Amino acid sequence: MAGRTRSSDSREGTYVPEGIADEFTQGEPAEAPSSGEKPQRPNAPALGLVGTLRWMWRQLTSMRVALMLLMLLAVAAVPGSVLPQRNQDAAGVIEYLADHPTAGEWLDRAGFFDVYSSVWFSAIYILLFVSLVGCILPRSAAHYRALRGRPPRVPSRFNRFPAKATATTDATPEEAVDAVAARLRGRLSWLPLFRVDRGEEAARGTRPAAATVSAERGYLRETGNLVFHLALVGLLVSVATGQMLHYRGQAIVTEGRGFANAVVDYDTFEKGSWFRPESLVPFSMTLDEFESEFASDTVAFAQARDFTAHVTVAEPSGAERSEQIKVNHPIVVDGAKIYLQGNGFAPEITVHDADGAVAFSGRVTFIPEDTMYTSRGVVKVPDVSSGLDQIGLVGYFLPTAEVNEDGSARSAFPQPVDPLLVLEVYTGDLGLDDGSPQNVYELDTANLTAAVDDQGQRIKVLARPGETVELPDGLGTLTLGEELPRYVALDLRHDPSLAFVLVFALLALGGLTVSLFTPRRRVWARAYTGPDGATVVEVAGLARGDDAGLQTEVDRALAAVTGTEPGATRREPQQPRIATRSEKD
Amino acid sequence: MELANLSVLLVWGAATALAIGFIAFAVDLSRLSGAKVDARDAARSRAKVAVGAGVADAPVDAPVDDAGPAAPVSRKLAGIGMSVTWLAAALLLIAIVLRGIAAGRTPWANMYEFALVGTFVAVAVFVGVNTRRDVRFLGAFVAGLGVLFLVLAQEKFFVAAMGVQPALQKYWLVLHVGVAIVATGIFTVAFVTSVLQLLRDARDNGSAMLGSRRWGWLDHTATPGALESLSFRLNSVAFVLWTFTLIGGAIWAEDAWGRYWGWDPKEVWSFIVWVVYAAYLHARTTRGWSGSRAAWFVVAGYACVLFNFTGVNLIFNGKHSYSGL
């Protein structure tokens, strides 16, 4: 437990996490470069239960374990990008399980299809955060004490410091250290650059009594470091709270129709465990019109350029207002955001059965399968006159039809230039009567028979807007409406934690920036009367981490001494670094 | 001539200039190393003479550094390398601007443009750092990677200049993607620095493979400590920018996709990159992990950056599928 012994050696009030290599906190440069140093292991005495727990806690909050957990977190995140994940691509998971029955089942048991909510992923980041808190809280307390503390006393010898300089001057030792102290404090008295202490020192060995300065700057560096880590904790708590309180509903709305903000009105509804249905504000919304725009030049042919949904929002108070929803521009209604997530065609289809009765009439949502809006849809016609077979229709709606010679068809442009409906016809039992839920976008053909022609080929029914066509085998007729209503897929989401998530993220960014770019330096100066009667001024500096400006700071402090001859300054940069241009020239 | 075609020509021009720069820098390094090795051999023979004379403690390697300045080598080729690298940066900048004018938008909306701008940033960071510190020893590697990226972009990632889909039409395209590219460019230079650090460290510690004369040019880079320090400073700037990329991306995703974080493959890998570089920053300050071991994190982190750019765009099917390929 090298960390404990080290921390007891160091200045009072500091906290050193186990395993950190930080000569700055120790107050003096290490005797040997710490790189590659093996922690010394004392002969471990029996620890007992409390001792073991203390030991485990110190291990958990040590730098090495934090490092290991960070690496584990990176590795653990990988499978979620390789394997399909349930919350993004449920269909992909089902397909994977079908393709890899054995491996898939084991992966599923181990949570590989819900990586980011799996036990092992959660364990890693929770341990990481426990380790972080266990390290940061004592450090925060130590930093709070350090903030009110004074700069450390002047070290007895300067020769081991990474930056130092010496000069002789005609000024008295007191004048010299006063000049250094003034330079270190800076011009603004209300915002000193360094925290500075002037002092005196008794004679020691061959060195006569001296006037001294000890100064420290860059407390903000540790502040930024702590703010960053604490903000990460805040971020995690905010995200978790948001998960508990949020709700998200998806609704498909066709032009001229609307929906009300109630759980039952959404096609899918997902909520956190603390969500209460009565918290939904009962506004309603109507889709007045949907506009889409596509490029028609040859380079970017048919690429989407703009989608706009014109809607009317009716508040519970009765007030109505018109709004526009675009991709990237959700509207906010009563604290919930409404997004435009998809769009397509929902043509009006009417089916008359063999008896001539209206068996189905309504708008059918066709889901685009490619960028040209070749859209797939299903019509289920269970309500035929008694004694007749139920009818199922499945096929494509093509906004701009392009029929190939082999009879296959696809769309050649996303806008309805030459619309065509192409459907295959099935008869039999749709399986709707037993009450089990079915996907409205899929036709279960297990108990259905396809209509075929004399060659055994499936018959395709083609209809253009306004046309009424005969269904095969005398099943009845199908009418495609003259108008082609558009539909939009809307996503409504409410997450009360958003503002907190943003604030903590920005705090983390700010804290990180401050902690990486604020120099933390200590500068000491000592002035005494040398053997020849002139005043000798010695300055030394120590910085936390790499600090290319440390030697310059020391030189500037020394230059403040009146009467310093520039040539007398001895510079011995010890930190290995690449020489700056000015140093070379 | 159409602006888009002119832009392509200028990219080829920049690639050619970088290729010339690469050769100039490489020859410069090999000449330096030749001079250095000759000096070292001379020093060794002097030391042997001294040992023969009975001075047992004569430091064998000490005279090497003294011998360096005694045999000055013309760095004219490094100068030529710098000039053509500046030229390449200028050509690439014009190419990017023309591309933006031709497409009528910010010129970093797909993989091809990301590669162009990222290469430009890497080259610009190199010439920029070189105005303050002599880092010409990085030239061969930055120019070499630059040629590789430009040719790869032109041959494999090229798509015609055109507008963008509605999801990309927001000012965040400028900020989020722009900052991500700058971070990637800086990570590239830092990666080169860390690789040199690892090689130099291995050579200095008597690696059998790297100790040979062929690797003599390593002696003319910088000490491992100096390379570590440069790499850290570049990486810390890039890490802050990467953090901003994640936050900016989350804010944009909240508006465009209705959630600020959804573990989309690009989000996953951006997160992995962030965690690996965070681990690097921690490793630097952990006893027993600083120095070479920390440098391996930079290598791993940069591998993740490259995979995030290529693998995630081309292999996985996610919401960030903007490569246009």
What range does the domain containing A503 cover?
233-345+489-509
A353 & A466 share domain:
yes
Residues 241-280 (B) with a CB less than 8 A from some CB of A: 243-244, 247, 250-251, 254-265, 268-269, 271-272, 275-276, 278-279
Residue B240 has pLDDT above 90, yes or no: yes
Residue B68 has a pLDDT of 40
CB atoms within 10 A of CB A159: 9
A68 & A118 share domain:
yes
Distance between CA A489 and CA A368 in Å, rounded? 12
A114, A148, A182 - which closes a domain:
A148
A455 & A318 share domain:
no
In a domain, A441, yes or no: yes
Least confident of A91-105, A465-479, B68-82, B146-160: B68-82
Q: Of B88 and A472, which is predicted with more confidence?
A: B88
* Residue from the list A39, A64, A576 with its beta carbon closest to the beta carbon of B225: A576
Residues of A in contact with B287 (CB under 8 A): 19-21, 34, 37, 39, 63
The 3-state DSSP class for residue A185 equals: helix
The C-alpha of B165 sits at a distance from chain A's nearest C-alpha, in angstroms, of 5
- Max distance between CA atoms of chain B, in angstroms, equals 82
Of all residues in chain B, the one with the smallest CA distance to A329 is: B255
A13 & A141 share domain:
yes
Residues of A in contact with B109 (CB under 8 A): none
Complex prediction ipTM: 0.87
A74 & A130 share domain:
yes
Residue A14 has a pLDDT of 58
**Quick check: A251 and A267 in contact, CB under 8 A?**
yes
Helices marked H in A2-47 — which ranges?
2-9, 23-26
The 3-state DSSP class for residue B147 equals: helix
Chain A touched by B230 (CB under 8 Å): yes
Residues of A in contact with B289 (CB under 8 A): 63-64, 67
| Percent share of chain B, pLDDT over 70 | 87
A374 & A286 share domain:
no
Residue B167 has a pLDDT of 82
Residue A118 has a pLDDT of 94
**Quick check: A40 and A4 in contact, CB under 8 A?**
no
A246 & A286 share domain:
yes
Residues of B in contact with A63 (CB under 8 A): 282, 285-287, 289
CB contact under 8 A, A509 and B247: yes
The C-alpha of B62 sits at a distance from chain A's nearest C-alpha, in angstroms, of 17
Would you say the C-alpha torsion A260, A263, A265, A270 has a positive or negative sign?
positive
CB contact under 8 A, A21 and B290: yes
Which one of A18, A22, A81 makes the best mutation probe of the B interface by having the most chain B beta carbons within 10 Å?
A: A81
Strand-pair category, A401-403 with A390-398: unpaired
Helix, strand, coil proportions of chain B in percent (round to 5)?
Answer: 75, 0, 20
A148, A173, A199 - which closes a domain:
A148
Residue A50 has a pLDDT of 87
Phi, psi angles (nearest 5°) of residue A235: -60, -45
Residues 211-270 (A) with a CB less than 8 A from some CB of B: 239, 248
Residue A440 has a pLDDT of 81
**Quick check: A180 and A564 in contact, CB under 8 A?**
no
Residue B261 has pLDDT above 50, yes or no: yes
Report in angstroms the alpha-carbon separations of B162 from A362, A409, B5, B143, B202.
40, 29, 13, 29, 48
Q: How many domains is chain A partitioned into structurally?
A: 4
Kindly provide the residue ranges of all beta strands, DSSP E only, lying in chain B, ordered along the sequence.
none
pLDDT digits (tens, 9 = 90+) for A396-433: 999 999 888 877 888 999 999 999 999 999 998 888 77
What DSSP state is assigned to residue B205? Answer: T
Residues 6 or more apart whose Cβ sits within 8 Å of residue A216: A151, A152, A194, A195, A521, A522, A523
Residues 276-305 (A) with a CB less than 8 A from some CB of B: 295, 297, 299-300, 303-305
A270 & A323 share domain:
yes
CB contact under 8 A, B271 and A64: no
A257 & A335 share domain:
yes
The pLDDT of B239-255, averaged and rounded, is 96
* Residue from the list B160, B276, B287 with its beta carbon closest to the beta carbon of A20: B287
CB contact under 8 A, B256 and A70: no
pLDDT band at B286 (very low <50, low <70, confident <90, very high): confident
The C-alpha of A96 sits at a distance from chain B's nearest C-alpha, in angstroms, of 15
CATH of the domain at A574: 3.30.310
**Quick check: B181 and B121 in contact, CB under 8 A?**
yes
In a domain, A477, yes or no: yes
In a domain, A222, yes or no: no
In a domain, A225, yes or no: no
In a domain, A302, yes or no: yes
The single-letter code of the amino acid at A238 is S
Give which of B144, B148, B111, B147 is closest to B311, Cα–Cα.
Answer: B111
In a domain, A227, yes or no: no
Chain B touched by A434 (CB under 8 Å): no
Residue B39 has a pLDDT of 64
A428 Cα distance to chain centroid: 50
Distance between CA B25 and CA B77 in Å, rounded? 7
Structure tokens at B29: 């390094």
A168 & A204 share domain:
yes
A312 & A358 share domain:
no
Would you list the DSSP string of B178-201? HHHHHHHHHHHHHHHHHHHHHHHH
Kindly report the average pLDDT of chain B as a whole number. Answer: 86
In a domain, A42, yes or no: no
Chain A touched by B5 (CB under 8 Å): no
**pTM, full prediction:** 0.86
Q: Of B206 and B184, which is predicted with more confidence?
A: B184
In a domain, A377, yes or no: yes
* Residue from the list B260, B261, B316 with its beta carbon closest to the beta carbon of A81: B316
Give which of B166, B86, B95 is closest to B126, Cα–Cα.
Answer: B86
Looking at the DSSP bridge assignments, the partners of residue A195 are A216
**Which residues in chain A show pLDDT less than 50?**
1-13, 30-40, 565-574, 584-585
A17 & A107 share domain:
yes
Looking at the DSSP bridge assignments, the partners of residue A367 are A376
Task: Please compute Rg for chain A using Cα positions.
Answer: 38
Residue A278 has a pLDDT of 84
CB contact under 8 A, B240 and A505: no
> How many residues belong to chain A?
585
Of all residues in chain A, the one with the smallest CA distance to B235 is: A516
A116, A148, A180 - which closes a domain:
A148
